[in-house]
Structure 1
């Protein structure tokens, strides 16, 4: 079928505009493409201690498993993690070294289950280091850890804002109660 020239002149700009329009920015996981920032000034050894998981991303918006915990111990060149986390409704465990791989970034240095096997970025920590937000550039996971009791509303708001600013779909953030 050959289109009349006038129709081509009308449709061509529309098709060109459609081709230039931003495409879907989702990537695999829970965040969209775009910049993500790790906390470059945080001394990662300050993470040493016991943390309780208070939130994580889930495709269903519901936790799907019990909240996890992470115990970090200082070690030469990094930390040692003994932890179990609920990520996307699945309970995942890792016990082993975490190497410092960049400012505000650490990576399991031993075999870890997917998606724990990739670089973890500390996106935010409150000034007293009671709450920390961790995510990944590929958006495969993101979670909030807290220590010293329940997570106050102001720190939850701050953590959600940081996740949103880093491209996470906070509508899929599941809180553990």
Structure 2
């Protein structure tokens, strides 16, 4: 083909491709769970619960972009009887929490009926990566200012190691 017929054939082919693409189903955003079912998950066995008392800022969470804004948590009490007062973005929803935070194992707590596992904490207890065995949510808490890129990267790698799909980890 030459001239206008050649251009016309390309135009028709291009239009057909666009029409087919328009018919394809729209991908739905990821919702919980954010981790692979039955993937191994570990909590931090060396975790010292007394060192998390204080104020925390939420730096990242699994969920849809723009689902909610960063929250924060105030953890009180002592190692044997922790309490929490928080507003967190969990799986794209604002969640208010207040009450006891009893330990259920090394690096493990029950908060508002959910199991929270500390899957990573940096050596100075400035950053916590918290996940759930169910994969319903996961988030990063930080204190002392903005979360540095190296600690965000470390937490992200730990979430990945514990079966989370880190494509859905949104930094605030």
Same fold by TM-score, threshold 0.5 exceeded? yes
Query: What is the correspondence of 1:45-64 to structure 2 with a 5 Å cutoff?
Result: 45-58=50-63, 60=64, 62-64=65-67
8 Å Cα contact 1:107-1:120 kept in structure 2: yes
Give me the CA root mean square deviation.
1.5
1:135 aligns to 2:131 (yes or no)? yes
Does structure 1 residue 157 correspond to structure 2 residue 160? no
Structure 1 range deviating more: 76-85 or 30-39:
76-85
Q: Which among 87, 102, 122 is matched to residue 118 of structure 2?
A: 122
Matched, 1:103 2:99: no
Larger radius of gyration: 2
Question: What TM-score do the two structures reach when normalised by structure 1?
Answer: 0.76
Task: Return the offset for 1:77.
Answer: 2.9
Contact 1:56 1:63 in 2 (8 A): no
Q: Structure 1 residues 132 and 63 mapped into 2: Cα distance closer, same or farther (>3 Å)?
A: farther
Pair 1:37-2:42 in alignment: yes
> Which moved further from structure 2: 73-82 or 145-154?
73-82
| Aligned 8 A contact 2:49 2:79 in 1 | no
Residues 1:69 and 2:88 are matched in the alignment: no
Structure 1 runs not aligned, ≥5 long: 1-27
Per the alignment, in what secondary structure is the counterpart of residue 102 of structure 2? strand
Q: What CA distance in whole angstroms lies between the structure 1 residues aligned with 2:70 and 2:89?
A: 6
Unpaired runs of 5+ in structure 2? 1-31
TM-score (norm 2): 0.78
Aligned to 2:85, which of 69, 82, 87? 82
Displacement of 1:63: 3.9
Distance across 1 between alignment mates of 2:116 and 2:167: 21
Cα distance change, pair 76–127 in 1 and its aligned pair in 2 (3 A): closer
State the number of aligned residues.
141
Between the aligned partners of 1:63 and 1:40, the Cα distance in structure 2 is 34
